[in-house]
């Protein structure tokens, strides 16, 4: 049972620090004829194999002495744990497993690293411990029918807090396990199924835990704290209406929490929250932010800001109230590290950086010298970053006049405006997600082969505030589909594109919208590549995991009361309208969009005499983690696209 503070009223302090200047970005293009292809001599011809051999970098954590960093990478073809010196160097593989691993967290005493791993993508995660000295691995949670995530070490290294959810449950609960005795304490229990608990963080004295409890609708959340010894739980942000509050970091004295909230203006901004519920804003801007960490001495805090699909990191001296934009390249800059991006001495920040021409890398930023040292090396296989394409930011009005839709547009080098080139409309998943200016291996490959790509952030995407994020509720495949179709029209008017050579492509919810596009606008498309899609709201709801059932119920209503809406927005009911060929890719163990969704599409299309290729990967889930499967999947996608909408080429002169 969650107890509330006495006659609680959340206090919103009005003193606001001046928000630092946002990073400068090129002005958005609103006239598609202004899109340009940049010339490039000796353009390298990319291959799928080389682009997917570039390494991916996952979660990371500082060693307590600040001399090493543990991180997840697929250097070996599997997502395992690696160690690298904090100043950079040759990495050492710490774990060897055929299964993917994630979320490494180094214990404060340096003796163990916690991480999570599942089985063939089934998302039933267990927490493991590995010795950084000898690589010995033990299963800490050893459960077969629960998902255990977010391991967080107590300051004395004796306990690990985490979230756990039974396979049949809709809600994650917060547990604490004694590492030596394997005894588990349940911090929360019996959470209503429409609510779930997020990953916990310890106070510096080890007496308190803080976490976010969020509503399945995504419109509401609270910051909760628990006194670990007594089990007493307090809601620090009890409120009326749809407002989000998210916990990020304790102050060293345990009196405040760094949080993010959209209470001020509908956009996520950062603030300090004390244990009496008083809130003091550190920033106020109409851009979404994510709260970061307190520095070890409590003098500074960090946060990130989403600027039209790029992210910037700010460092604030609490005494001077002056936010500083950290000197990092354009693209995606995020605060790395398990519990904190700060090294224990507070002199360094561990940062993840990626860009359109740069796979994700870990960077060690010296705060005094403002010197950024890259400590991983992901761009391998002889690929030239200068031959990759930087996207242009485009913006166009929605048909109903309510929104400005942003999109990233990739124009190949060395092409001309002769209306001969094929284009791909790339639809992100979620739908509460965003196409951002990061490294996309397939987009860089296919653009290099002479294909134009537009990736719209349709209504319902994150990064543009509360109202925009909520604009597709009870309207899946409605206004958001119009935004996708308008992206196709925008790129068609660029002068580069042949209107008869349009492909729609996306994964997860992007796969669903790809299928909606095929059925609701069949004459627009020459082909489609839905990846791990769902196509039938009724069967998807019946077969997906319970947590997603709650999300879908609050997103699209009830299968009985809203039957007519569900039928109209299920592409499977309109298969007879499809004119274009499809390639469908799915994972056998996917708990989110089960492979039965893709299979029923392929069967129905073939029954109607259409063309549908289907590949289901037996050892994968909702995302393909094995390197050989990634290469196979996107080679299939490339071959399919090239066979149905060939490109005149890109002017590549280095052939391999």
- Note the pLDDT tens digit of each residue in 332-357: 999 999 999 999 999 999 999 999 99
- What is the band of 9 on the pLDDT scale with cuts at 50, 70, 90? very low
Strands 278-281 and 11-13: parallel
Round to whole Å and give the CA distance between 257 and 259.
Answer: 6
pLDDT at 629 over 90: yes
In angstroms, the Cα distances linking 152 to 198, 389, 637 are 12, 39, 39
Sign of CA dihedral 438, 444, 445, 451: positive
Instruction: Please determine, for residue 654, whether its predicted confidence score (pLDDT) is greater than 60.
Output: no
Beta 310-317 vs 300-307: how paired, if at all? antiparallel
Q: What is the pLDDT of residue 649?
A: 82
Q: What is the pLDDT of residues 481-506, one digit of tens each?
A: 999 999 999 999 999 999 999 999 99
C-alpha 408/C-alpha 389 separation (Å) is: 11
> How many angstroms separate the CA atoms of 77 and 584, rounded?
24
Per-residue pLDDT tens over the stretch 358-404: 999 999 999 999 999 999 999 987 899 999 999 999 999 999 999 99
Provide the pLDDT confidence category of residue 655 given band limits of 50, 70 and 90.
Answer: very low
| Least trusted range by pLDDT, from 3-17, 92-106, 162-176, 284-298 | 3-17
> Confidence class of residue 16 from pLDDT cuts 50, 70 and 90?
very low
pLDDT at 22: 65
Residue 318 and residue 17 in contact, taking contact as beta carbons nearer than 8 Å: no
Q: Name the percent of the chain lying above pLDDT 90.
A: 94
With cut-offs at 50, 70 and 90, classify the pLDDT of residue 651: low
Residue 12, pLDDT score: 39
**Over the chain, what is the mean pLDDT?**
95
Instruction: Tell me what pLDDT residue 149 has.
Output: 98
Instruction: Classify the C-alpha dihedral 399-401-402-406 as positive or negative.
Output: positive
Cis (ω within 30 of 0) for the bond into 646?
A: no
- Ranges of H-type helices in 356-499: 441-448, 466-469, 479-492
Output the pLDDT for position 1: 35
Under CATH, which number does the domain 385-644 receive?
3.40.50.1820
Cα separation, 342 vs 297, in Å, equals 10
pLDDT tens for 244-299 read 999 999 999 999 999 999 999 999 999 999 999 999 999 999 999 999 999 999 99
Q: pTM score, two decimals?
A: 0.95
Q: How far apart are the first and last CA of the chain?
A: 64
User: What does the DSSP assignment read for 62-95?
Assistant: E-TTSSEEEEEE-TTSS-EEEEEETT----EE--
- Res 650 pLDDT > 70: no
């Amino acid at each position: 049972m969650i107890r509330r503070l006495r006659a609680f009223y959340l206090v919103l302090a009005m003193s606001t620090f001046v928000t630092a200047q946002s990073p400068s970005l090129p002005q958005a293009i609103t006239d598609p004829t202004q899109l340009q292809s940049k010339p490039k001599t000796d353009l390298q011809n990319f291959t799928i194999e080389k682009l997917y051999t570039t390494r991916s970098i996952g979660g990371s954590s500082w060693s307590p002495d600040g001399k090493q960093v543990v991180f997840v990478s697929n250097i070996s073809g599997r997502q395992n744990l690696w160690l690298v010196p904090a100043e950079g160097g040759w990495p050492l593989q710490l774990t060897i497993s055929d299964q993917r691993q994630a979320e490494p967290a180094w214990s404060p005493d340096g003796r163990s690293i916690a991480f999570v791993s599942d089985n063939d993508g089934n998302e039933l995660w267990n927490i493991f411990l590995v010795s950084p000295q000898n690589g010995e691995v033990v299963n800490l949670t050893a459960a077969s029918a629960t998902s255990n995530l977010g391991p967080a070490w107590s300051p004395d290294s004796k306990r690990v807090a985490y979230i756990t959810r039974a396979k049949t449950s809709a809600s994650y609960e917060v547990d604490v396990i004694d590492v030596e005795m394997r005894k588990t304490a349940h911090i929360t229990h019996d959470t209503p199924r429409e609510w779930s608990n997020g990953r916990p963080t310890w106070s510096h004295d080890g007496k308190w835990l803080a976490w976010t409890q969020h509503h399945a609708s995504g419109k509401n959340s609270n910051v909760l704290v628990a006194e670990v010894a007594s089990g007493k739980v307090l809601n620090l942000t009890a409120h009326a209406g749809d407002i989000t509050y998210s916990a990020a970091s304790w102050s060293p004295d345990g009196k405040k929490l760094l949080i993010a909230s959209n209470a001020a203006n509908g956009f996520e901004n950062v603030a300090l929250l004390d244990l009496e519920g008083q809130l003091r804003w550190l920033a106020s801007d109409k851009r979404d932010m994510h709260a970061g960490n307190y520095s070890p001495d409590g003098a500074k805090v960090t946060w990130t800001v989403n600027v039209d699909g790029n992210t910037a990191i700010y460092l604030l001296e609490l005494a001077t109230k002056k936010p500083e934009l950290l000197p990092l390249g354009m693209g995606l800059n995020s605060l790395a590290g398990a519990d904190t991006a700060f090294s224990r001495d507070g002199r360094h920040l561990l940062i993840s950086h990626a860009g359109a021409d740069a796979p994700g890398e870990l960077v060690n930023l010296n705060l005094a010298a403002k010197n950024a040292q890259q400590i991983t090396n992901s761009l391998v296989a002889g690929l030239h970053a200068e031959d990759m394409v930087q996207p242009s930011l485009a913006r166009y009005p929605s048909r109903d006049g309510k929104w400005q839709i942003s999109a990233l547009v990739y124009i190949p080098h060395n092409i001309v405006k002769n209306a001969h080139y094929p284009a791909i409309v790339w639809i992100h998943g979620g739908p509460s997600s965003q196409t951002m200016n990061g490294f996309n291996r397939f987009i860089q490959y296919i653009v290099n082969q002479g294909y134009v790509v537009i990736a719209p952030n349709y209504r319902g995407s994150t990064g543009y505030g509360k109202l925009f994020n909520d604009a597709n509720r009870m309207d899946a495949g409605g206004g958001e589909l119009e935004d996708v179709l308008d992206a196709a029209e925008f790129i068609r008017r660029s002068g580069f594109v042949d209107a008869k050579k349009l492909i729609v492509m996306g994964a997860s919810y992007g796969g669903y919208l790809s299928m909606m596009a095929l059925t609701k606008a069949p004459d627009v498309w020459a082909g489609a590549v839905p990846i791990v899609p769902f196509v039938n709201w009724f069967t998807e709801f019946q077969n997906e995991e319970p947590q997603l059932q709650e999300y879908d119920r609050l997103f699209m209503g009830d299968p009985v009361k809203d039957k007519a809406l569900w039928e109209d927005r299920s592409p499977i009911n309109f298969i007879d309208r499809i004119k274009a060929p499809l390639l469908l890719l799915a994972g056998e163990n996917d708990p989110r969009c089960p492979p039965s969704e893709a299979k029923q599409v392929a069967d129905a299309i073939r029954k109607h005499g259409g063309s549908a290729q289907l590949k289901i990967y037996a050892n994968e889930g909702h995302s393909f983690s094995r390197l050989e499967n990634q290469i196979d999947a996107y080679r299939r996608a490339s071959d399919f696209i090239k066979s149905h909408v060939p490109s005149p080429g890109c002017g590549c002169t280095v052939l391999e």
